[in-house]
Structure 1
Amino acid sequence: MSFTYNTGITLAQFGLQCIAPFNDKIKKGVEGRRETFSILEKHISPKDKTLWFHCASLGEYEQGLPVFKVLRDHYKDHKIVLSFFSPSGYEIRKNSPIADVVIYLPLDSKHNAKRFIDFVKPELTVFVKYDIWPNLLSELKKKQLRAILISAAFRPNQSYFKFYGKHLRQALFAFEHIFTQNEASKKLLESINYNKVTISGDTRFDRVSSQLDIDNTLEFIEDFKQDKLCVVAGSTWPEGEALLINYINNHASQDVKFIIAPHNIKPNQIKNIQEKLEVESILFSEKEQRDLKTAQVFIVNTIGILTKIYNYADIAYVGGALGNTGLHNTLEPAVFSVPIIIGNIYDKFPEAKALIDNNGMFSIANQTEFDTILTELIKDKAKRELTGNNNATYIKNHKGAVNKIINYLGL
């Protein structure tokens, strides 16, 4: 592995330790990684047979979950190690029933990589989407341990496909097989002579489709919604919240209810939303003490229920594509036959472009565009139903990635 890469890892470790006292998220990651090997020593013995699943964060976990579930059911006598790089994944899924041990991935130094692989010795490793760590993968290959990459999505500007990316390219060859989301990613891999590729599609389509098979009932949402039209704004950021608040204050009819589920649920952020609203609002945390029927806005100051809430949406707004944050999961509302509004920065999200091209999603760049399309969807029931059905059909037509992966593994 290149001297430059390993030097960079060393500098990154030092830098994170320096920044940690001033950033809660980085601090959690630094402190969590200190515990990684002691957690492994406590829960994994040399005699254990193991599988290793790695996800960068929460989104990749949700993406890989349909495959993880099948492997969990098949390898009943194996212990499963689930690793995250980001605190936003680890903190929410550290008690995941899919795994026996959940840890922070140690930083990818040569020493850490050798120690980790020597300890875990996974019979099968599954990486999700793009979180590629050369030293860890090099150790897997050296010990001839199986590894696959699923739901991979590559872009031409990534280092793997540049003249200076030789050492990173080598990491990809540690995977015995790569399952890509699309043809473009397959061609990029073939351009560097990696040919063990299958276009499986995105496992997220299987993941969100499974939501239809469970009970999505939330009685408190039914009490809030009554028989009125409901707009659900999921994973919102301040720039999107500003559009919503302005619309609610100036254009919303009493016959329309709004549910806002902010990405940031810190008390000061929630308070800021409530103070700017000129209509009655209620928090999730207040639902037992307040009359849900009289409020026009329900603010979700908790995590873990947004997917079920989308079941009650007549129209959805998905946050994250108006500022510097990436677009959040648009497939979750789409599976419930809901028309969707998003911001205009979605170039790195092929499913968003596809849903727009399929006439189920609408992109807006400012308040005027937001007001126009939301009003149109509220007033035109036929358009709501048509565009929502377009989304559900698109999801249905793109399922099947999990079966392709499992068939390859011979399970």
Structure 2
Amino acid sequence: MGPAPAAPRYARRLGGARRGQPREAARLSQVGRCAEGSRARRPARRPIRRPRHPFLLYRGGPARGSAVHTRPHAALARLDLRHPHAHAPPEVSKPSLLYRLSVHVVTRAAPLVARFDKKVARGLDGRRGLAARLGGWGSAERDTKRPLIWMHAPSVGEGLQAKPVLETLRAEHPDWQLAFTFFSPSAERLAKNLPVDVADYLPLDRPSEVSAVLDALQPTALVFSKLDVWPELTLAAARRGVKLGLISATVSPNSSRLRWPTRHWSAPAYRALDRVGTISEEDGERLELLGARPETIAVTGDTRYDSVAERAARLDTTREPLARLAATSADTFTIVAGSTWPSDEAVLLPSFADLLHQLPTARLLLAPHEPNPDHLAAIADRLRHLKLPRPVRLSQLEHAKPGPVIVVDRVGILADLYALGDVAFVGGGFHRAGLHSVLEPAVFGVPTVFGPHWRMSRDATLLLEQGGAVALPADARHPLHSQWLVWHHDPAARRSAGKAAKTMVEEGRGASERTTALVRGLVS
């Protein structure tokens, strides 16, 4: 007998389950189950019950309900984390000259790039006057006698990971001030609905901008969501004595951050972090490679599992447009395709045309990732070439007869639309940008298919392992059509796959409670 396997380094602190390496998806005939001879199914994480907190929308007034008071650092004891001052902090340096030169080059080039990229242009426009806006808020509203938690998330996905933590902090500590920043313009809409005192763009990572925002906010703690740790900001905050945290941290094995030069210039920033909450033990090991100190790391899980479950629990299918879309005959087979790119639609729409010839009761709810006029026109052209009826847009549904294809021409409702599906198609898998959220259909027990570029998604890997999804090959027109027929003709198989998906989400809950405890511990 060989030596006993080593105990997990981080997972044992929080009861997290160690995840194996990603495996290939199953053959289509097996309805997405693991290949024969692979390891048995296992839960994504050990389920931990979390207390329910009211969903609050806070704009400067007292939160509703009574606050829940917690002894300082009691939560850290539950997390098996040492007191924040148990170790001497690392020596804080400044970002490398190479990093500062790189930032300088990128910021000088950004106006030129903005001429051809609307998203970059929006980001530059949004940052104009940023220091003045935050400075004005700081002068009028910042109360230095109250702790201020500054939470940063680069985009919508990371913002959704931060959202339940901010909600719980607001409910438990209504006297604390909360600030939220984001990098991508796509997070503007989310930021307006968060329970924070102030929300705005992240400053460019240059000394003058960083210093101005730190002067304005005077944070007690600065917390990054997922991995977006900016060296200039992080190290400047550390030099001022601001506590630093990273939550829902995950690092892909193929991440460019693990390679030179990114790993070199980001190492001091990761080393300065006081608390790191990772999604899995493997993420903790890779965070160490990036520079994080081992004693700061604990596995807390992924807060998005709590977010999608709580949103699903609040779903009201009697409101429009869900009520209108749900009014179908009993034999309708509904496919919800979400966050699709043209590369997804090149496979999806021909497969649906094949299905419709065999199954006239099939219906496709198509929600493109970017429902701009050009994209919507391209979808209509592709359907015309396939000799399919002209699509009906969601905005026209009240005055038009619904057809087999309904195109969702608005944002913000996709997560709810998945509840109407018999099966789901998640976009991004045929696009190098990466797969979009597979948790949104999974929480409703809807089995899912997606393209071959899924390996960067931990959720997709777990979903495939548990039999709740199918990964398609690059040439997927006929395999996708066949899989839809399998799930239509075999409702038991479809229900089994959906149940596996929903179970995965339920077993992943509890991360918000653990992550909030970690953030709370930064405030001494």
- TM-score tier, shorter chain, comes to over 0.9
- Find the partner of 2:308 among 195, 201, 208: 208
Aligned to 1:41: 135
Aligned to 2:92: none
Aligned-residue offset at 1:223: 2.7
Q: Distance in 1 between matches of 2:267 and 2:329?
A: 52
CA contact (8 A) 2:331 2:361 kept: no
1:269 to 2:375 alignment: yes
- Report matched runs for 1:283-298 at 5 Å: 283-292=393-402, 295-298=403-406
- Answer with 92-101 or 113-122: which moved more: 92-101
- Which runs of 5 or more structure 2 residues have no equivalent in the other structure? 1-94
Q: Cα–Cα, structure 1 residues 69 and 378, in superposed 2: closer, same or farther, change >3 Å?
A: same
Q: Distance in 2 between matches of 1:345 and 1:201?
A: 23
Aligned-residue offset at 1:55: 0.7
The C-alpha deviation readout for 1:193-238, integer Å capped at 9, x for no partner, is 6111111111111111112320331212113576522110000111
CA contact (8 A) 1:230 1:315 kept: yes
The C-alpha deviation readout for 1:142-161, integer Å capped at 9, x for no partner, is 11112211110124555665
- The residue type equivalent to 2:309 in the other structure is S
Aligned to 1:328: 436
Aligned to 1:107: 204
Paired residue secondary structure (1:344): coil
- Give the structure-1-normalised TM-score: 0.93
Q: Distance in 2 between matches of 1:35 and 1:193?
A: 34
Aligned-residue offset at 1:134: 0.7
- The residue type equivalent to 1:127 in the other structure is F
Aligned to 1:246: 350
- The residue type equivalent to 2:220 in the other structure is E
- Answer with 189-198 or 179-188: which moved more: 189-198
Q: Cα–Cα, structure 1 residues 162 and 308, in superposed 2: closer, same or farther, change >3 Å?
A: closer
Q: Distance in 1 between matches of 2:98 and 2:328?
A: 57
CA contact (8 A) 1:316 1:340 kept: yes
CA contact (8 A) 1:216 1:311 kept: no
1:370 to 2:480 alignment: yes
Aligned to 1:220: 324
- Give the structure-2-normalised TM-score: 0.74
Q: Cα–Cα, structure 1 residues 163 and 362, in superposed 2: closer, same or farther, change >3 Å?
A: closer
- Answer with 118-127 or 323-332: which moved more: 118-127
CA contact (8 A) 2:152 2:180 kept: yes
Paired residue secondary structure (2:334): strand
- Answer with 191-200 or 221-230: which moved more: 221-230
Q: Distance in 1 between matches of 2:339 and 2:192?
A: 22
Computed over aligned residues only, the root mean square deviation of the Cα atoms, in angstroms, reads 2.0
Which one has a bigger Cα radius of gyration?
Answer: 2
Aligned to 1:257: 363
Q: Cα–Cα, structure 1 residues 94 and 275, in superposed 2: closer, same or farther, change >3 Å?
A: same
Q: Distance in 1 between matches of 2:102 and 2:363?
A: 51
Q: Distance in 1 between matches of 2:258 and 2:391?
A: 51
Aligned-residue offset at 1:406: 2.3
The runs of at least 4 consecutive aligned structure 1 residues that moved more than 6 Å come to: none
- Find the partner of 2:458 among 343, 350, 358: 350
Aligned to 2:338: 234
Q: Distance in 2 between matches of 1:15 and 1:88?
A: 21
CA contact (8 A) 2:355 2:362 kept: no
Aligned to 2:267: 169
- Report matched runs for 1:91-102 at 5 Å: 92-102=189-199
Paired residue secondary structure (2:412): coil
- Answer with 60-69 or 241-250: which moved more: 241-250
Q: Cα–Cα, structure 1 residues 126 and 232, in superposed 2: closer, same or farther, change >3 Å?
A: same
Aligned-residue offset at 1:396: 0.8
Pairs aligned (count): 408
CA contact (8 A) 2:135 2:213 kept: no
Task: Kindly indicate whether structure 1 or structure 2 has the higher relative contact order, using CA contacts under 8 Å at least 6 residues apart.
Answer: 2
Q: Cα–Cα, structure 1 residues 280 and 225, in superposed 2: closer, same or farther, change >3 Å?
A: farther
Q: Cα–Cα, structure 1 residues 372 and 227, in superposed 2: closer, same or farther, change >3 Å?
A: closer
Q: Distance in 1 between matches of 2:412 and 2:478?
A: 32
Q: Distance in 2 between matches of 1:157 and 1:361?
A: 23
Q: Distance in 1 between matches of 2:399 and 2:283?
A: 52
Q: Cα–Cα, structure 1 residues 225 and 4, in superposed 2: closer, same or farther, change >3 Å?
A: farther
- The residue type equivalent to 1:207 in the other structure is S
Q: Distance in 1 between matches of 2:301 and 2:393?
A: 38
Q: Cα–Cα, structure 1 residues 233 and 13, in superposed 2: closer, same or farther, change >3 Å?
A: same
The C-alpha deviation readout for 1:271-299, integer Å capped at 9, x for no partner, is 2212332135311110221234xx21111
- Answer with 238-247 or 350-359: which moved more: 238-247
Aligned-residue offset at 1:60: 0.8
Paired residue secondary structure (1:362): strand
- The residue type equivalent to 1:256 in the other structure is A
- Answer with 263-272 or 154-163: which moved more: 154-163
- Answer with 38-47 or 56-65: which moved more: 38-47
- The residue type equivalent to 1:128 in the other structure is S
CA contact (8 A) 1:96 1:102 kept: no
Aligned to 1:189: 287
- The residue type equivalent to 1:275 in the other structure is D
Q: Cα–Cα, structure 1 residues 287 and 109, in superposed 2: closer, same or farther, change >3 Å?
A: same
Q: Cα–Cα, structure 1 residues 268 and 159, in superposed 2: closer, same or farther, change >3 Å?
A: closer
Aligned to 2:425: 317
Aligned to 2:299: 199
Q: Cα–Cα, structure 1 residues 316 and 158, in superposed 2: closer, same or farther, change >3 Å?
A: closer
Paired residue secondary structure (2:139): coil
1:340 to 2:448 alignment: yes
Q: Distance in 2 between matches of 1:68 and 1:94?
A: 11
CA contact (8 A) 1:225 1:257 kept: no
CA contact (8 A) 1:283 1:301 kept: yes
CA contact (8 A) 2:301 2:508 kept: yes
Q: Distance in 1 between matches of 2:459 and 2:332?
A: 30
- The residue type equivalent to 2:213 in the other structure is F
- The residue type equivalent to 2:226 in the other structure is K
- Find the partner of 2:389 among 260, 268, 279: 279
- The residue type equivalent to 1:349 in the other structure is S
CA contact (8 A) 1:64 1:203 kept: yes
Paired residue secondary structure (2:115): helix
The C-alpha deviation readout for 1:155-181, integer Å capped at 9, x for no partner, is 455566557634411101232110011
CA contact (8 A) 2:447 2:469 kept: yes
Q: Distance in 1 between matches of 2:488 and 2:254?
A: 41
Aligned to 1:116: 213
- The residue type equivalent to 2:451 in the other structure is G
Q: Distance in 1 between matches of 2:106 and 2:312?
A: 43
